[in-house]
Amino acid sequence: MFMTKQLPINTISVAVTGLHRGDNPQPGAAVIASLRRRFPGIRIVGLSYDPMESSIYCRDNNRLDAVYLLPYPRTGAKALMERLEVILDKEKISVIIPCLDSEVMNFIELQDSLARRGIKMMLPSKAAFLRRSKEALSLLCHRINIPVPETRVAHDAADLARFAEQIGYPVYVKGKYYEAHLATTEAELYAAFKDLTDMWGLPVLVQEMVVGEEYDVVGLGDGRGGIVGSCSIRKMLRTSAGKGFAGVVVADPRIDHLVHRFIRALRWAGPFELEFIKAPARPHLLFEMNPRFPAWVDFPSQLGCNLPARLLELLVGFEETELAPCEAGRMFIRHSVDVLGDITDLAELAAKGERTGAPLLNLSGRS
């Protein structure tokens, strides 16, 4: 489906988005590290929405060879294409790997146009993308017999309050793309509704609070109902936003069965992350499906299950390397570091919307 004749590595340029790596990290830096782990000399271009995204200024395995600013996803596919046309006049891009939920639909809509420019992507169909959206997930899971927490979709504050009463406090209030606020009272419910609609718009979801262990699965769907490779972890530490800050590989046939059933039903193409929760005396409940690699995707890459590299191999026709099984008990803990940069890089990117070449960093004569 994606195979082409073998191309030399120095002719391949991969563009990656999602370059923020702070307390709520995006996946781009982990995807870049994974690609460089398999292809050290590959050209990688950063597509950024903000000149302050930290990965722009990284070196070593996270380094970028060029960076270009994009309009925010909410401006739509047309604005994105207009900006990409400008970038493509200066930069030959072979592959784009979108790493943010909010942008994937724009890239799906542009897939044919970009393919005519020689740019490859591995993305789900529009129908599959919509069927796994937060507002549609419960309906899909009920149809294919996958347990989910009780969830309702609200298009106004009155519906939200009524649904919360039916489910019973405390509840989670979730935005269309990102964020979840815990509400224990009606006042907190309305405050969460305002914050989320101001940021992400309607609809808003209200979901029962289930207390239990959380599990994440990263994988790559082949578009025909199969899974190219995957890795399952149990979250050991979580940030205040619920992001996994530490995790351990698990081998659980029950989770594997649910993942294969879900991906088979959607015939999913490309990266995915499935999030489950297991409460006492209840089955594993699927509460979210993200249409991209997670921020911890470089963890399995270090164990020999390099899914971003396999994605690139499939798209450009490289010889496929074996994906090693992730051994249960292997763990990761996220580690924060300070990234050094130069104000000149920030100024250039903010003023011109692009930066080519490595970031400046002159520490000579400084203690």
Ramachandran category for residue 18: left, alpha or beta (phi over 0 → left; psi -120 to 50 → alpha): left
Give me the CATH number covering residue 176.
Answer: 3.30.1490.20
pTM score over 0.85: yes
- Report the greatest alpha carbon distance in the chain: 66
Report the pLDDT value the prediction gives residue 109, as an integer from 0 to 100: 98
Q: Give residues with Cβ within 8 angstroms of 37, minimum separation 6.
A: 61, 298, 301, 302, 306, 309
| Among candidate residues 208, 228, 254, the one where a domain is terminated | 208
Report the pLDDT value the prediction gives residue 245, as an integer from 0 to 100: 87
In a domain, 363, yes or no: no
Residues 224 and 186 in one domain: no
In a domain, 189, yes or no: yes
Residues 112 and 179 in one domain: no
Range of the domain at 197: 150-208
H/E element, 350: helix 343-352
Give me the CATH number covering residue 219.
Answer: 3.30.470.20
Our count of domains for the chain comes to 3
In a domain, 362, yes or no: no
Residues 198 and 161 in one domain: yes
Q: Give residues with Cβ within 8 angstroms of 253, minimum separation 6.
A: none
In a domain, 188, yes or no: yes
pLDDT in tens, the chain (367 residues): 444 445 566 689 999 999 998 778 999 999 999 999 999 989 999 999 999 999 999 887 778 999 999 999 999 999 999 999 999 999 999 999 999 999 999 999 999 999 999 999 999 999 999 999 989 999 999 999 999 999 999 999 999 999 999 999 999 999 988 888 999 999 999 999 999 999 888 999 999 999 999 999 999 999 999 999 999 999 999 877 667 789 999 999 999 999 999 999 999 999 999 999 999 989 999 999 999 999 999 999 999 999 999 999 999 998 888 999 999 999 999 988 888 888 988 998 999 999 887 776 655 444 3
Q: Which residue from 346, 349, 339, 345 is spatially nearest to 360, judged by alpha carbons? A: 345
Residues 154 and 86 in one domain: no
CA distance 55 to 334: 15
Give me the CATH number covering residue 19.
Answer: 3.40.50.20
Report the pLDDT value the prediction gives residue 356, as an integer from 0 to 100: 85
